[in-house]
Structure 1
Amino acid sequence: MSANTPAAAPAKSKKMLVIIIGVVLLLVVGGGGAAFFMMRSQGGDEEGGAPAARKEEPKVAPTFLAMENMVVNLADPGGDRFAQIGITLELADAKTSEQVKLYLPTIRSGILLLVSQRTSAELLQREGKEKLANDILREVSRPLGYSVPSERARARSRAAAEEDGEDEDRPARRRAEPRNPVYRVLFSSFIIQ
């Protein structure tokens, strides 16, 4: 009996080695096949000529720059109405925030001039506030070298598109312009007295 024991041990270890190699091969082949099917389902197969899915840039949280509140006399008859306005700018990144800070005195002056030309009746309406926000966006973008079309210019381009028979749902073809890093103008406070 003692002579049979050493021969049985090498047979068991060979079986175990074969099983381990089989499992490893199965994992390698199975993993490669799974990767192939995953890439194919994402449009990455090269045989069909389908382009690989374009990776989108990860979204970066915008930077917000709060400006000091401004008190402005309004253009109402008698000159006894004023507005206190708090503005926060939504910007692309911290670099843009630093650029805006460099031009802040010019921007504040332009905003004060814009608001002082409005009447309380205009600013009490939602449309008046939206128009003011668009004008402020243009005023903030100008020193950075970006242009924002005025409401009149947008209306003209819509009218021209209608005359040309372009579909309104289809985006208009434009020259490739860099995207304005000043996304929006937000009002943090808006008091008219």
Structure 2
Amino acid sequence: MSAAAAADAAPPAKGGKKKLIIIIVAVLLVVLIGGGAAFFLLKKKPAEGEEGAEGGHAKAEAAEPAPKPRPKHDPKHPPVFVPLDPFTVNLADKETERYAQIGVTLELEDAKTEAELKIYMPAIRNNILMVLSHKTAAQLLTREGKDKLAQSILYASVRPLGYDIEEEEEEEEPAADAPPPKKKKKKKKPPTNLPVVAVHFSNFIVQ
């Protein structure tokens, strides 16, 4: 009787083992499927990130800033500097005798104008001397006065080349009993494409 009972009890044990194996296999399948899905998702995100980076790079390339304007002087065609002999002139001071020793260098945009400028050099020096002789020591000792002098010399140096430029004359303080000054007519602005682009001082002494 005990043997029969044991025989009857054996099949449920085998059935329990089978169920256990099925459960383990199912768990393993779930783990494998979940791991595969996670691996796929992790692999996909970097790919999307790379695509986004490439897209951002493309956008960055499309949104590059406009090129900067070309500098005043082309590096392939550097400016030309023409130093003039130093000027020594008596200034226009009335109370005491003052004079100035000034070295001037003209900056040209290119070498094409240099030959023409040297042809007219006597007239250019005369114009510059006239400008200097009408200045007072007080006008030349300030930074503003030097800037105005440089502009006047620039205009004086291009007049012999055919550029007719009129400057605004500096107004002097009227005396107490003097009549009111007459209104001056507005003068045209000078052209911007002058052959002399700047005036530099190599020496500046006022005594």
TM range (shorter): 0.5 to 0.7
Q: Given the alignment of the two structures, is residue 76 of structure 1 paired with residue 110 of structure 2, yes or no?
A: no
Aligned to 2:35: none
8 A contact 1:73–1:79 mirrored in 2 = no
Shift of 1:90: 0.5
Q: 1:138 aligns with which of 155, 161, 166?
A: 155
Q: Secondary structure at the match of 2:202?
A: strand
**Normalising to structure 2: TM-score of the pair?**
0.52
8 A contact 2:107–2:200 mirrored in 1 = yes
* Unaligned ranges ≥5, structure 2: 1-57, 170-185
8 A contact 1:75–1:116 mirrored in 2 = yes
Does the C-alpha gap of structure 1 residues 178 and 120 become closer, same or farther in structure 2, counting only changes over 3 Å? closer
Shift of 1:145: 2.2
* Unaligned ranges ≥5, structure 1: 1-36, 44-52, 158-173
Residue 192 of structure 1 aligns with an amino acid whose one-letter code is V
Larger radius of gyration: 2
Does the C-alpha gap of structure 1 residues 61 and 82 become closer, same or farther in structure 2, counting only changes over 3 Å? same
Residue 186 of structure 1 aligns with an amino acid whose one-letter code is H
Q: Given the alignment of the two structures, is residue 187 of structure 1 paired with residue 204 of structure 2, yes or no?
A: no
Q: Secondary structure at the match of 1:138?
A: helix
What fraction of aligned residue pairs are identical, expressed as a percent?
44
Does the C-alpha gap of structure 1 residues 93 and 78 become closer, same or farther in structure 2, counting only changes over 3 Å? same
Aligned to 1:88: 105
How many aligned positions are there? 130
8 A contact 2:124–2:158 mirrored in 1 = no
Residue 100 of structure 2 aligns with an amino acid whose one-letter code is A
Q: Given the alignment of the two structures, is residue 126 of structure 1 paired with residue 150 of structure 2, yes or no?
A: no
- After TM superposition, the structure 1 stretch with the greater mean CA deviation from structure 2, 81-90 or 178-187, is 178-187
**Normalising to structure 1: TM-score of the pair?**
0.56
Give the root-mean-square deviation of aligned CA atoms. Answer: 3.6
